[in-house]
Amino acid sequence: MADRRYPITPRPYARRTHQGRFSPNAKKYHLWMNQLAILQFWLPNEAYVTLEMPMFPSWSKKKTAELDGQPHGQTPDLDNLVKAICDVARRESGDHDIHTICARKIWAKEGGIIVHASLDGWLNYVNKATDS
């Protein structure tokens, strides 16, 4: 399997309110889940993932160039993004058999999810981004 990039912005898991109802973002989340299903999103049992968070269009070209590929230290939290992609990847059968996930959240010009074929591929991608 080669690295695969899905051109869709990562979203966090949709939380329920204390009354057991979904939050207002739940409809957007379920639409996002359906879009990933159309893209045939899949994670192996041992997954190495890069989550590309889009930069704001209002940012200057200088700021965009500086932050492209740099770690994304803002919300949404990485654990919520990982939970969401695991749930989508194994929507039918459940995500209980995914035993390893290495994930990284970075700034990018466009949102996307990259599933790397191996730990070496993921580490090469991480090292390439930190070297520049």
Q: Which of 14-28, 46-60, 118-132 has the lowest mean pLDDT?
A: 14-28
What are the structural domain ranges in the chain? 4-131
Q: What residues have CB less than 8 Å from 1, skipping those under 6 apart?
A: 44, 117
- The crossing angle, in degrees rounded to 10, of helices 26-38 and 78-89 is 50
State residue 131's pLDDT score.
67
Strand partners, 104: 50
Q: Which CATH architecture has domain 4-131?
A: 2-Layer Sandwich (3.30)
Structure-block tokens of residue 12: 């966090």
State residue 22's pLDDT score.
66
Task: Say what the pTM is.
Answer: 0.86
Task: Say if strands 100-108 and 4-6 run parallel, antiparallel, or are unpaired.
Answer: unpaired
Task: Say if strands 100-108 and 46-54 run parallel, antiparallel, or are unpaired.
Answer: parallel
Q: What is the pLDDT of residues 32-90, one digit of tens each?
A: 989 998 999 989 888 999 999 999 999 999 999 999 999 999 999 999 999 989 888 87
Q: What is the pLDDT of residues 99-124, one digit of tens each?
A: 899 999 999 999 999 999 888 888 88
